[in-house]
Structure 1
Amino acid sequence: MSFVEYDASSWTGRDDGEGAEHRRWHRQVTHTMSAGRAVGGVSVVGFASDEGVRRNGGRQGAAEGPQALRSALAPLALHVDVPLRDAGTVVVDGEDLEFGHEALGELIARELDADARFVVVLGGGHETAYGSYLGRIRSAGLQGAHVGVLNLDAHFDLRAADRPTSGTPFLQMAEADAAAGRRFDYTVVGIAEPSNTPVLFDTADRLGVRHVLDTDAQPGHLAGVLHLVDELVARVDAVHLSIDLDVLPAAVAPGVSAPAAYGVPVEVLEAVCRRVAESGRLRVLDIVELCPRLDIDGRTAKTAARLVTTCVHASPARA
């Protein structure tokens, strides 16, 4: 079973004084139990799950990710006046990942329909992304919308399996979209060729997936990467951005289930995040695969928090 947990203890940090010039995440964020909707703002939702990683044979610990990510976000400066609300964490208790997905979907849909600018989902393994998908397809405000998925990841996560894992979320989306008559529009930046079997490349080709290899997602090729992102943004009504932290080089992101031998530099990922957020079409951002017990000096969590804050700063206010 799963349940929603509310814990504000991570929202602490340096306090330099009153006023907008001293604004930080921990001072701006409100708690769902003590405040109403973050109308026009950003909602934060956690998904404490290791089950998908366990099923996929990876290193566990991602269930500790949501609180570690909150702690990394808490002291960061905010340069925009945007309402922030922590809507709690869906905790997957035991092995019932499927029930957890349902609970996460309901929570995300609620936040989207409460007029959040976008929802930040703190994972959890990459199975988190399917719960994010359920939330956006259940949102009344996104009914009939063409939603594009942009995944920053070393892996396609298009595995075929007899039950959901951290390696299956995008194939689950493709199959659910096909059954419902929706268009599956999926782009991946950062694919590590040695980490994806030929059958995964074949599956991606069959589904019309656009992708960029990690070797081509480097600063010298940034213009081409951003062109691909611009094409995605131009053809969709909304974007679901999914960031698997194993897309980063292992030296930057050691605290993940599968550290990258090559990886995509932070400057490329930040430019992509900024471009998507500036479009005003970002509606769901999930950031996944943080394993705090394997992190070194909080490197992975701090980098993740930087990317989330970039999206918050770059996202325009909704009319």
Structure 2
Amino acid sequence: MTPDWRLPWQGRVDALDGEAGWRWHQVVEPWQAGGRPGVALLGLASDEGVRRNQGRPGAALGPQALRRMLANLPVHRPLPLYDAGDVPCTDGQLEAAQDTYARQGAAVLDDGQLLLGLGGGHEIGWASYQAFSRSAAWAAGGSLAIVNFDAHFDLRLAPQASSGTPFRQALDHAEAGGRTVAYHCVGISAAANTRALFSHAESRGVRWLADDTLAAHTLPQHAEALAQWLQGFDHVYLTLCLDVLPAPVAPGVSAPAARGVGLEVLEPLVKAVAGCGRLRVADIAELCPPHDIDHRTARTAARLAWQIVSAWQAARDGGPAA
């Protein structure tokens, strides 16, 4: 970690409240192997995948913008919180950056931490999957469920890896290695995915929920079905692309959604996955600060990250999530 790692970790201090008034910026520490198990943040400062996928750039600035919004969040229950830094993507070398992220992420996982990735474009999906595939937990066996909250399948067939290819890469890798990996997308937009993508999703056994089926009155049935599906897997990877949200809520993304899934529906589903008791890896992708009006997207991303950590902690330690 560089000496300036603390720059985004600034915020309010309520000294008179003691530990009950602590916020994330007051407890975060640089990650070093051997610490108490908790949550470790690792950023992929890249928008090369977005550029290759013909999206608007700027997501490389996402990890630091997200840290600034995470800094002021409250600590409701003590939990070791670590910052493992950022992996930059330089000179368009996306594959090298993903490999470096995977190596560092695997080390974090083998240290007993929950890996929470900060994007960056959704090319972080392939990097996060690789991190888990190289971990001791994956080497010990078991099946993996990938739950992607996203308007897009990200199953593109392309000559180069991009932000649109990570889950095709993951499914191909699992198939080649004879491992059980299942993929479930929540928030898919029929208007944002071609017939070819739907056909490929069907051929690979992908499950999905369309954005226009996700509403307050359908939330209980979808949450129950998702929870039941997750029971069939030993490990869970949760990945959240911020373009699953409506554009007024999340304007600062690579491809803003014309419809999206409202936060009041998305958040309970995210918490259900994070709190399943088998979450190993999570990440939040596509935060694009240059297009983020009033930091709306970064604030929403921080809230969702906080909910992921809270639900995961409640499942690990017992008791309700904050």
TM over 0.5: yes
| Alignment check: 8 A CA contact 1:5 1:89 kept | no
How far the C-alpha of 1:268 sits from its partner, in A, is: 1.5
| Counterpart-to-counterpart distance in 2, 1:105 and 1:313 | 24
Aligned residues: 314
How far the C-alpha of 1:238 sits from its partner, in A, is: 1.3
Normalised by the size of structure 2, how large is the TM-score? 0.94
Partner SS for 1:235: coil
| Alignment check: 8 A CA contact 1:78 1:313 kept | no
| Residue from 90, 105, 111 that aligns with 1:93 | 90
Does 1:16 pair with 2:14?
Answer: yes
Partner SS for 1:177: helix
Q: How does 1:141-152 map to 2 (within 5 A)?
A: 141-143=137-139, 144-152=141-149
Partner SS for 1:228: helix
| Residue from 250, 255, 263 that aligns with 2:252 | 255
Partner SS for 2:164: coil
| Residue identity matched to 2:73 | L
Q: 1:285 to 1:229 in 2, by over 3 A?
A: same
| Residue from 121, 132, 136 that aligns with 1:136 | 132
Partner residue, 1:225: 222
Does 1:201 pair with 2:198?
Answer: yes
| Counterpart-to-counterpart distance in 2, 1:193 and 1:4 | 44
How far the C-alpha of 1:317 sits from its partner, in A, is: 3.0
| Alignment check: 8 A CA contact 2:142 2:180 kept | no
| Counterpart-to-counterpart distance in 1, 2:33 and 2:194 | 47
| Residue from 60, 65, 71 that aligns with 1:68 | 65
Partner residue, 1:160: 157
Identity of aligned residues (%): 45
Partner residue, 1:125: 121
Structure 1's unaligned 5+ residue stretches are: none
How far the C-alpha of 1:8 sits from its partner, in A, is: 1.9
- Pairwise CA RMSD: 1.7
| Counterpart-to-counterpart distance in 1, 2:2 and 2:22 | 28
| Alignment check: 8 A CA contact 2:33 2:111 kept | no
Partner residue, 1:25: 24
Q: Deviations over 1:216-251 (max 9, x none)?
A: 122121022212321232011111000000000000
| Counterpart-to-counterpart distance in 2, 1:317 and 1:181 | 30
| Counterpart-to-counterpart distance in 2, 1:273 and 1:79 | 19
| Alignment check: 8 A CA contact 1:4 1:91 kept | no
| Residue identity matched to 1:30 | E
| Residue identity matched to 2:26 | R
How far the C-alpha of 1:91 sits from its partner, in A, is: 0.4
Partner SS for 1:121: strand
How far the C-alpha of 1:171 sits from its partner, in A, is: 0.4
Partner residue, 2:292: 295
Structure 2's unaligned 5+ residue stretches are: none
Partner SS for 2:308: helix
Q: 1:4 to 1:124 in 2, by over 3 A?
A: farther
Partner SS for 1:66: helix
Normalised by the size of structure 1, how large is the TM-score? 0.95
